[in-house]
Amino acid sequence: MKLLHSLDQVSKLINSGKKMRDSIPIGFISGLMGTIVMDLSNLMFKKTGISEKTYAQFAGSVLMRPSRLLLKENRILGQILHLITGSIIGIPLFAVLKKTGKDNYLFKGAIYGTFTWELLYSFGLRYNVFRSKAHSTSTHITTLIDNLVYGFVSSATIIFLTDHAVLPKGSDKQLETQMEGEMPKVNDNGIGDSFYNYEDEVRLH
């Protein structure tokens, strides 16, 4: 019920034209959107025979043997685990865009998607985190494409949901930093020297 209430609030914000400021919900929702589109891409590759596995199978195999994933309820559990993981991974992406600015956000999303592919998929297979194995090169390539899609959609959703004041452009951030650096600083030593010089003048008179 709380999740439905949160989604209802997000829907109202979008319909009213208002933008969000809280980084955690923005990152989570954006990661969820990216994961959903990523799964659609994966299902398309699976149905055409290009990819061997779905992400529900990969994620479910972390908790159980591949043979148990033949049951529908176990695949659903794997899908839920995958959605939660993808949603949480969207939160660091928000931090990246906030730090670097929203310029070239699709490119940054693609880099982030490639990073998640290497971190979760490649290392997951290499170190036997997943009990379900992928053997074909086409599966490896399609999972990379899926993660690029995740990065594109998640970063675009972050830009769409976030208030400009929270997520300025990189050029704006550089301008602010430059202006802060050019602000005149008060020299305490200079004030002290002037004070002592004034005392000396008073004594001479």
Q: What is the mean pLDDT of residues 60-88?
A: 94
Q: Is 205 contained in some domain? A: no
Task: Return phi, psi of residue 65, to 5°.
Answer: -70, 150
d(CA 28, CA 4): 14
User: Taking a C-beta distance cutoff of 8 angstroms, is the pair 33, 153 a contact?
Assistant: yes
Q: Is residue 182 part of a domain?
A: no
In-domain check, residue 188: no
Return the SS3 of 148: helix
**Number of structural domains in the chain:** 1
Closest by CA position to 13, among listed 152, 156, 162: 162
3-state SS, residue 70 = helix
**pLDDT band (50, 70, 90) for residue 171:** low
End-to-end CA distance of the chain: 83
CA diameter of the chain: 101
Domain interval for residue 37: 18-168
User: What is the rounded average pLDDT of the residues 5-12?
Assistant: 58
Q: Are 75 and 57 in contact (CB under 8 A)?
A: yes
Instruction: In whole angstroms, give the CA distance from residue 58 to residue 79.
Output: 9
Instruction: Identify whether 51 is part of a domain.
Output: yes
Q: How many helices (H) and strands (E) does the chain have?
A: 9, 0
* Residue at 33 is within a domain: yes
Q: Given pLDDT bands bounded at 50, 70 and 90, which one contains residue 58?
A: very high
- 72 in a structural domain: yes
**Does residue 7 sit within a domain?**
no
Higher pLDDT, 1 or 82: 82
Looking at residue 180, its pLDDT comes to 58
For residues 55 and 15, the model is more confident at 55
In a domain, 9, yes or no: no
Percent of the residues in the chain that have a pLDDT greater than 90, as a whole number = 63
